[in-house]
Structure 1
Amino acid sequence: MTGGPGVEDLLRELAPRVLGTLARRHGQFDACEDAVQEALLAAARQWPAEGLPDRPRAWLLTVASRALVDGWRTDSARRDRELAVATDPALRPPAHAEADDTLTLLFLCCHPALSPPSQLALTLRAVGGLSTAQIAAAFLVPEATMAKRITRAKRQIQEAGARFTPPPDPQRGARLAVVLHVLYLMFNEGYTASAGPGLYRPDLTAEAIWLTRLLHRLLPGDGEVAGLLALMLLTDARRAARTDADGALVPLDEQDRSRWDAAAIREGVGLLTAVLGGGPVGPYQLQAAIAAVHDEAPTAAQTDWPQILALYDVLAHVSPGPLVTLSRAVAVAMVHGPRAGLAVAGTLDADERMAHTHRLEAVRGHLLERAGEPAAARAAYLEAARITASEPERRYLTLRAAALRTPER
């Protein structure tokens, strides 16, 4: 085989498997992760020019192992480590261990001792196979800053005493919930960037979907994993219609639905249909069901808002939170009128968790506009525009406010 555009995809697929094997054998996540990064860089240089080796994974594992041993050469305990690896049956790779290794790696990167930003960065690096420079670019920070964040995260894992083993069964559900939340945050940041000149970051959404597909292959029977993948696909299906030719934000009810990705919608609906009714319904399945109702409506006017409200009622019970309440306020307004929606949104005024987001004021402006209060709506839009760090959202909110300006007499 020859090198080409598929090399990068192959390296991303192999990276967690190689790291998992090394970490299971040697138990030193930090050193193993650095060694795998060296092997990936070597492959990225050599494979496109020289062609793919016959056994790419074995090639990476050999190069990474050499890098790891080189790092131990001045360590007086090197022979003890190598002897332990050779003689301890627990460190020998069992049959078909690669899938378990990758899942264990995901659990380790999303260790509860880490902050969410560190979990995101480490997951992208260790499981996603991205370089520090790529991750830094994704999060709009200098490479040196991201390198320190990743180094600190690996140190925190070591200090927490984490080992490269699956979490105990009693902790597995909670740890899987952390993994899903990390992937959810990654997707959301890509779909609606919290800051910067662009509305979305397709590189981040692609990484989140890729990693969630990987997790779904590892845990095909988990309803919430399937629900999260369905949610991502059903949401990302609308991406092409979210901005116009000038890059301006287009709200959902004004989007050209012919530009939505029909294949992604079919896949998302299929995933959701396969798991609904098969066990407890969690928040990701419910959010995916809401997205499916939106995606399957031929026009905005034909959206089944009573069904969406019913799903939000269940979601508010299963996974209460301010953003769920805010989204439910919109559904209430669509079913019972804008005043009813404003009343629900008003319950968030004292919630400190909403103090640093523009979303409450943006929704309030929308509902006030629908309620026939242009002056109050304009004030809410301008306040939302002041708070947001997203340039496309700021432009959109400012234009909505300008359209409501009282004509001069």
Structure 2
Amino acid sequence: MIGDVFREEHGRAVAVLVRVFGDVDVAEEAVQDAFVEAVRRWPSDGTPPSPAGWIITTARNKAIDRLRREAARDGKQAQAAMLDEGGPAWTGAVQDDRLRLIFTCCHPALGLQARVALTLRMLGGLTTAEIARAFLVPESTMAQRLVRAKAKIRDARIPYRVPEEAELPGRLSGVLAVVYLVFTQGYGGREDLGAEAIRLGRVLNELLPDEPEVMGLLALMLLVESRKAARIRGGELVLLGEQDRGLWDRGLVAEGQALVRRCLEIDRPGPYQIQAAVNAVHSDAATAEETQWTQILRLYDQLMAVAPTPVAALNRAVAVAEVQGPEAALAQVEGLDLGRYYLFHAIRADLLRRLGRDGEAAQAYDAAIERTENDAERAFLRSRRLDVRS
């Protein structure tokens, strides 16, 4: 029970306390103390009628006590006094503390990795050790990054607010990029991160209901997540065309497709909406053979017009292979500067294999295997490597 409350309410509680105190460290430590108190008291006293309210009230009281004990530190006594008066007011277009915290964590003054780490820490309640594992760095390194990021928020006086409407388009794209990066971390094997990204996507969609790119990102994550149960078999990655579609979560598919339809009605296409539409086309096909690859290629053409990136071009080449053949696709892949990306080598290897160029395909599979750290992906690539002559 307490674990469920922690996962569901940690971010909200921290966000409320940040608004009240204007200090990320004070808020986070107070909420942690409140949950420690809950672990101590709830088993004997019983779960309170409003667990979230209990956590926030307890955290607030603990923060006040701490500030009064540390009154000698500059500004802390003033904070405590202000809190007793009801705390600072805030007005803005969107009245939600979690959304303000997301925009604070994702401020452009912070590096991208720091934004992702802070979002996971503050909104998701992940420990420093869990975040370090997600980034494949030592816990001490991640702890230093988090300390520096929070210090920068404090010292640079990064505001705890949702940007004004005129600023929102430029800032929102950075927030969406962070949420999607969190999701891809989860899709690579950390299921808790994938679930947290979808939760954040739902929060954003609830709080910014008229933003089609928010809908598009949520739709994209839901449609990809719907295939999770079919993606791994026997510890090995299963490609989309070979998956058992009976294992797809049709509830998530329906929800994602409904969001895509809403995006089409708004008619302000963006990169996440287009990628979601690609996945909706895949989800429409009862079998791999029924996939409308020509439609998918048109969507990738649109994506390249809206947001051209090497990764988008690589994904487009997969559709080109299905519509125009592997030789045409390979010609496009060869011109991409993605040598560090395992999927570039994996796709190139598959195209070379289909063209009967087994020796080159084997070398490309070796390059892909060397560049992935995901066990299921590595097992799949090794099995494909065995099918070609080196």
1:154 deviation in Å?
0.6
Q: How far apart, CA to CA, are the structure 2 residues paired with 1:9 and 1:261?
A: 23
Match of 1:375 in 2: 359
Q: Which residue of 1 aligns with 2:310?
A: 322
2:71 maps to which of 56, 72, 75: 75
Task: Give the counterpart of 1:287 among 262, 265, 275.
Answer: 275
**Mapped partners of 2:242, 2:104: distance in 1:** 43
- How far has the Cα of 1:93 moved from its partner? 6.7
Is 1:312 the counterpart of 2:300? The answer is yes
C-alpha spacing 1:372/1:390, structure 2 compared with 1 (3 Å): same
Alignment of 1:257-276 (within 5 A): 257-276=245-264
CA RMSD of aligned residues (A): 2.3
For residues 13-37 of structure 1, the C-alpha deviation after alignment (integer angstroms, 9 at most, x for no partner) is 3333332322222222222222122
1:19 aligns with 2:14: yes
Structure 2: tracts of 5 or more residues without a match: none
Alignment of 1:84-123 (within 5 A): 84-85=82-83, 91-92=88-89, 99-123=95-119
The answer to whether residue 186 in structure 2 is matched with residue 175 in structure 1 is no
1:238 aligns with 2:234: no
Distance 1:90 1:97 in 2: 20
1:85 Cα deviation after fit = 4.3
CA distance 1:109–1:228, shift in 2 (3 Å): same
Equivalent position amino acid for 2:54 in 1: W
Q: d(CA) in 2 for partners of 1:42 and 1:51?
A: 13
- Tell me by how many angstroms 1:133 deviates: 4.1
Amino acid at match of 1:359: L
Correspondent of 1:226 among 212, 215, 221:
215
The one-letter amino acid paired with 1:313 is D
TM-score, normalised to structure 2's length? 0.92
Instruction: Give the conservation status (yes or no) of the 8 Å contact 2:348–2:361.
Output: yes
Q: Once the 2 structures are TM-superposed, how far is the Cα of residue 215 of structure 1 from its aligned partner?
A: 1.4
Given that residues 339 and 371 in structure 1 are in contact (C-alpha distance below 8 angstroms), is that contact kept between their aligned partners in structure 2?
A: yes
Structure 1 CA distance, aligned partners of 2:105 and 2:114?
A: 9
What letter matches 2:223 in structure 1?
Answer: L
- Structure 2 matches for 1:142-221, cutoff 5 A? 142-192=138-188, 200-221=189-210
Given that 2:134 and 2:185 are in contact with CA atoms closer than 8 Å, whether structure 1 keeps it comes out as no
Q: Secondary structure at the match of 1:276?
A: helix
Q: 1:48 to 1:239 in 2, by over 3 A?
A: farther
- Structure 1, unaligned runs of 5 or more: 193-199
Residue number among 320, 332, 343 corresponding to 1:332 in the alignment: 320
Change (3 A) 1:86 1:67: closer
The answer for the alignment partner of 1:195 in structure 2 is: none
CA distance in 2, matches of 1:22, 1:383: 48
Q: Give the drift of 1:52.
A: 1.8
**Aligned-pair distance for 1:341?**
0.2
Match of 1:323, SS state, is: helix
- Give the alignment of 1:122-133 within 5 angstroms: 122-133=118-129
1:390 matched to 2:378? The reply is: no
Once residues 312 and 405 of structure 1 are traced to their aligned partners in structure 2, the CA distance between those partners, rounded to angstroms, is 33
Q: Is the 8 A contact 2:219 2:259 kept in 1?
A: yes
In 1: Cα distance, 2:37 partner to 2:323 partner: 58
> Within the alignment, does 1:357 sit opposite 2:345 as a pair?
no
Matches within 5 A, 1:2-81: 4=1, 7-72=2-67, 73-76=69-72, 77-81=75-79
Letter in 1 for 2:282: H
Look up the SS of the partner of 2:158 in the other structure.
coil
TM-score by length of 1: 0.88
Q: Go from structure 1 to structure 2 and tell me whether the alpha carbon gap of 1:78 and 1:255 turns closer, same or farther (over 3 Å shift).
A: closer
Count of aligned residue pairs for this structure pair? 387
1:196 counterpart residue number: none
Q: CA deviation at 1:48?
A: 4.5
**Aligned CA distance change for structure 1 residues 129 and 99 (closer, same or farther; 3 Å):** farther
Matched-pair identity in %: 44
Structure 1 position 293, deviation (Å):
0.8
For residues 364 and 17 of structure 2, the distance between their equivalents in structure 1, rounded to whole angstroms, comes to 54
Q: Within 2, Cα distance between the matches of 1:395 and 1:236?
A: 21
Q: Report the CA distance shift for 1:44/1:146 in structure 2 as closer, same or farther (over 3 A).
A: farther
In structure 1, what residue type is equivalent to 2:293? Answer: W
Pick closer, same or farther for the CA change 1:90–1:203 going to 2, 3 Å.
Answer: closer
Tell me, in whole angstroms, the C-alpha distance in 1 between the residues paired with 2:29 and 2:232.
Answer: 40
Deviation of the 1:386 alpha carbon: 2.1
Distance in 2 between the 1:146 and 1:369 partners?
A: 41
Does 1:344 pair with 2:332? yes
Distance 2:45 2:141 in 1: 34
Whichever residue aligns with residue 209 of structure 2, its letter is P
Measure how far apart 1:187 and its partner are.
0.8
CA separation of 1:41 and 1:181: change in aligned 2, threshold 3 A: farther
Give the drift of 1:143: 4.1
